[in-house]
Amino acid sequence: MLSTQSRPVIEATLPIIAERISSITPKFYQRMFAARPELLDGMFSRSNQKNGTQQQALAGSIAVFATYLVNNPETTPETMLSRIAHKHTSLGVVEEQYGIVYEHLFAAIAEDLGDALTPEIAEAWTEVYWLMAQALIKIEKGLYARQANATIYSNWKLVERTATGADSVSFSFEPADDTAATIAKPGQFVSMRMPMADGIRQVRQFTLSNDVESTTRRTVTVKLDVDGEFTPVLHNSLKVGDVVELSNPYGDLVIDTEGAPLVIATAGIGCTPSAAALQTLAAAGSTREITVLHADQEFASWPLREQMLESLGQLPNAKIRTWFERGELPEGLDAKAGYMDLTDSLTADSQVYLCGPLPFMHAVRSQALAAGIPAEHIHYEVFGPDVWLAA
Ligand SMILES: Cc1cc2nc3c(=O)[nH]c(=O)nc-3n(C[C@H](O)[C@H](O)[C@H](O)COP(=O)(O)OP(=O)(O)OC[C@H]3O[C@@H](n4cnc5c(N)ncnc54)[C@H](O)[C@@H]3O)c2cc1C
Ligand code: HEM
């Protein structure tokens, strides 16, 4: 709970911090990585530092948290904290590291604000930082405690790789050590860690696309990003028999077997959580009313389409509608040319799940809101730092 002394100080300084936070966070990361270069080996993504998305996500989360506290001093923004905590635990963030972040973040704030940072302002923002840190630490401890093991990563051997869509590959792994594996839920992801050509380890998250509830097999489906660092190594160098490190499964965008009518709207590789959910729901004999909407460049570029169509065939109350930007439309499938239009697929009580590129999610979320779906019934997964929230 934000103290009565700090609340007016935070309220008065929020505009200046919100304005300066985008120049504070790059200074923070520069300071932290200079003092702790080991955090760039197997923890933080070098690409998200270079393209600026992690700085934006951190800045946005602090501004959102402080604004929320001023308006609701006795509660915390659960959805945002949960997303961050799931990401943190998939990377092995621990309580002791919050002191490191505090030290360098506040040094960056002091550097940026200069004399404008009075002791009173520093104290109030320190309180906000530790309220946020304590809330995250609590959720993270709970998430770690739910796992079948106490390790962050275990070794998994590649046993199969299958091309799907135009530029994606499904990679299936089996355990390469005797660490007990946690049963995942549909919609969850794992962090994968591998050394890059210069020997520095990088980590990326991938949604489990198949075999979700298996403890002896993990499958992810990965789109090649030719401008990226990790996926070219995965696509071009990883061979059957090679071993990678995978984290336990995390992620709070979980799709339940039963419940209100479900609308899953995806584009491109964003279909991985949908494919996982459909397979798990089909295996559980779900009778949930499900509408799957998928948009892609063309029919041939749609990854996991065979798996998704097979699962849909086993679900008594499921239907699919598709949109393709170019190419011939497939026969025997509800398919249209152009961009997705969600409107006709919604009912007042729909629970809507979105996954795909940000412009796509902006567009379909606006359609859902305009159709009267309450914002809290619209859930989304960003395949990178959540810069949507930051904006
Ligand atoms: C929860 C979650 C689930 C995910 N699930 C999936 C999934 O199921 N399937 C999947 O394919 N992906 C998934 N992703 C995305 C995945 O984690 C990677 O972000 C993605 O595959 C790209 O990785 P990469 O290393 O190849 O690209 P990165 O190296 O991360 O680069 C990403 C982009 O950053 C930019 N960039 C890189 N270097 C620089 C530079 N020096 N300067 C400026 N810009 C630069 C480029 O535009 C590049 O395209 C998921 C992400 C999250 C967070
Ligand atoms: C109160 C303190 C903290 C806040 C507010 C915070 C906030 C965030 C946010 C918003 C993200 C992006 C989440 C997403 O949308 O994917 C993130 C990711 C991350 N955080 Fe934190 N964090 C904090 C503390 C820490 C600590 C102590 C560490 C450990 C050193 C850490 C390491 C990371 C890493 C490695 C990522 C992923 C970055 C990437 O790969 O691009 N964070 N954090």
Region 166-195: mean pLDDT is 98
Contacts 24+ apart (CB under 8 A), 81-86: 81/132, 81/135, 81/136, 81/139, 82/139, 82/252, 83/252, 83/386, 83/389, 84/136, 85/136, 85/139, 85/140, 85/143, 86/143, 86/250, 86/251, 86/252
- Domain containing 218 — which CATH number? 2.40.30.10
> Does residue 363 sit within a domain?
yes
CB of 40 shorter than 6 A to ligand 2: no
In a domain, 254, yes or no: no
Q: Which residues are known to be catalytic?
A: 98, 140
Give the atom of ligand 1 at the shortest distance from the alpha carbon of 273: 8
- Do 85 and 180 belong to one domain? no
Instruction: Please tell me the distance between residue 124's alpha carbon and the centre of ligand 1 in angstroms.
Output: 36
Mean pLDDT value across residues 329-334: 96
Q: How many H-runs (helices) and E-runs (strands) does the chain carry?
A: 11, 12
Going by C-alpha positions, the residue among 52, 39, 24, 20 that lies closest to residue 387 is 52
Q: Determine the Cα angle at 75 with ends 251 and 122, to 5°.
A: 100
Give the pLDDT band (50/70/90) at residue 260. very high
44: Cβ below 6 Å to ligand 2?
A: yes
Question: Given a cut of 90, is residue 35 above it in pLDDT?
Answer: yes
Domain annotation covers residue 256: no
Mean pLDDT on 328-343: 96
Question: Does some domain include residue 253?
Answer: no
Residue 73 has pLDDT above 80, yes or no: no
Q: Which of these three, 145, 169, 185, is where a domain ends?
A: 145
How many CB atoms neighbour CB 359 within 10 A? Answer: 9
Compute, in angstroms, the gap from residue 324 CA to the centroid of ligand 1.
23
If you measure from the C-alpha of residue 248 to the centroid of ligand 1, how many angstroms do you get, rounded to a whole number?
A: 20
Residue 192 has pLDDT above 80, yes or no: yes
Contacts of residue 214, defined as CB under 8 A and 6 or more positions apart, other chains included, come to 183
Indicate whether 387 pLDDT > 90: no
- Do 80 and 12 lie in one domain? The reply is yes
Query: Residue 228 corresponds to which tokens in the numbers above?
Result: 């990226």
Residue 205 is encoded by which pair of tokens?
């998250």
The answer to whether residues 132 and 172 belong to one domain is no
Whether 210 shows a pLDDT value over 80: the answer reads yes
Residues 52, 92: one domain? yes
Residues in the chain: 391
Structure tokens at 220: 């992810």
What pLDDT digit, counting tens, does each position of 262-272 carry? 999 999 999 99
- Ligand number nearest CA of 106 is 2
Q: How far apart are alpha carbons 182 and 207 in whole angstroms?
A: 15
Considering only CA atoms, which residue is closest to atom 45 of ligand 1? Answer: 51
From the CA of 84, how far away is ligand 2's center (Å)? 7
Say yes or no: 79 and 157 in one domain: no
pLDDT over 90 (residue 109): yes
Assess whether 16 and 126 both reside in one domain: yes
Same domain, residue pair 42 and 115: yes
- Confidence label for 104 from pLDDT (cuts 50, 70 and 90): very high
Q: Is residue 182 part of a domain?
A: yes
- Residues 295, 301, 45, CA angle at the centre, nearest 5°? 85
Instruction: Please report which ligand is nearest the Cα atom of 190.
Output: 1
Which of these three, 111, 145, 179, is where a domain ends?
145
Confidence grade of residue 390 (pLDDT, cut at 50, 70, 90)? low
What CA–CA distances, in Å, run from 149 to 90, 181, 249, 307? 13, 7, 12, 30
Two tokens, residue 255: 């799709």
Cβ–ligand 2 distance for 385 under 6 Å, the answer: yes
In short, whether 62's Cβ falls inside 6 Å of ligand 2 is: yes
- Identify the CATH number of the domain in which residue 376 sits: 3.40.50.80
Contacts for 306 with CB less than 8 Å, ≥ 6 apart: 164
What percent of the chain is modeled with pLDDT above 70?
99
CB 189 within 8 A of CB 206: yes
Contact indicator for 265, 364 with CB cutoff of 8 Å:
yes
Ligand 1 neighbourhood includes 236 CB (under 6 angstroms): no
Residue nearest to ligand 1 atom 13, measured at CA: 206
Maximal CA-CA distance, the chain: 69
Asked whether residue 53 falls in the same domain as residue 113, the answer is yes
Q: What's the confidence (pLDDT) of residue 389?
A: 76
Question: Mean per-residue pLDDT for 338-365?
Answer: 95
252 in a structural domain: no
Q: Which of 55, 90, 100, 101 to mutate to test the pocket of ligand 2 (most atoms within 8 A of CB)?
A: 101
Segment 291-311 shows an average pLDDT of 98
Q: Does pLDDT of 299 surpass 80?
A: yes
Question: Would the CB of 307 count as within 6 Å of ligand 2?
Answer: no
Say what the pLDDT of residue 175 is: 98
The CATH number that applies at residue 82 is 1.10.490.10
On the question of pLDDT at 163 being above 90, the answer is yes
Q: Are 149 and 180 within 8 A, CB to CB?
A: yes
CB 88 within 8 A of CB 143: no
Residues 131 and 40 in one domain: yes
Specify the pLDDT at position 372: 95
Strand order across the 262-267 sheet:
335-337, 318-324, 290-296, 262-267, 351-355, 378-381
Within a domain: residue 22? yes
Q: Is the pLDDT of residue 134 over 70?
A: yes
Ligand 2 atom 34, closest CA: 44
Are 324 and 295 in contact by the 8 Å Cβ rule? The answer is yes
CB atoms within 10 A of CB 186: 26
Q: Domain tally for the chain? A: 3
**Residue that terminates a domain, selected from 189, 220, 247:** 247
| 65 Cβ neighbours under 8 A, 6+ residues apart | 76, 77, 80, 81, 128, 131, 132
Report, as an integer, the average pLDDT of 117-125: 96
pLDDT band at 75 (very low <50, low <70, confident <90, very high): confident
Under the banding of pLDDT at 50, 70 and 90, the label for residue 76 is: confident
45 pocket-lining for ligand 1 (C-beta < 6 Å): yes
Other beta carbons less than 10 A from residue 243's beta carbon: 14
Q: What residue type is 248 in one-letter code?
A: N
Q: What angle do CA 142, 147, 151 make, to 5 degrees?
A: 105
DSSP helix/strand/coil, 142? helix
36, 47, 54: residue to mutate for ligand 2 pocket, most atoms within 8 A of CB? 54
Do 136 and 15 share a structural domain?
yes
Q: Which numbered ligand comes closest to the C-alpha of 167?
A: 1
For ligand 2, the distance from its centroid to the CA atom of residue 225, given in whole angstroms, is: 23
Q: In the structure, what pLDDT confidence band is assigned to residue 72 with cuts at 50, 70 and 90?
A: confident
pLDDT for 391 equals 67
- Nearest Cα residue to atom 19 of ligand 1: 384
Residue numbers of the domain that contains 289:
262-390
**Tokens of residue 248, six digits:** 């336990």
Note whether residue 255 is domain-resident: no
281 lies in the same domain as 348: yes
Output the residue whose Cα is nearest ligand 1's atom 11: 222
Write down the mean pLDDT value for the chain: 96
- CB of residue 381 inside a 6 A radius of ligand 2: no
Say yes or no: CB of residue 135 within 6 Å of ligand 2. no
Residue closest by Cα to atom 24 of ligand 2:
98
State whether 361 and 283 are in the same domain. yes
Assign residue 304 a region (left: φ > 0; alpha: ψ between -120 and 50; beta: otherwise).
Answer: left
Quick one: pLDDT band at residue 257, thresholds 50, 70, 90? confident
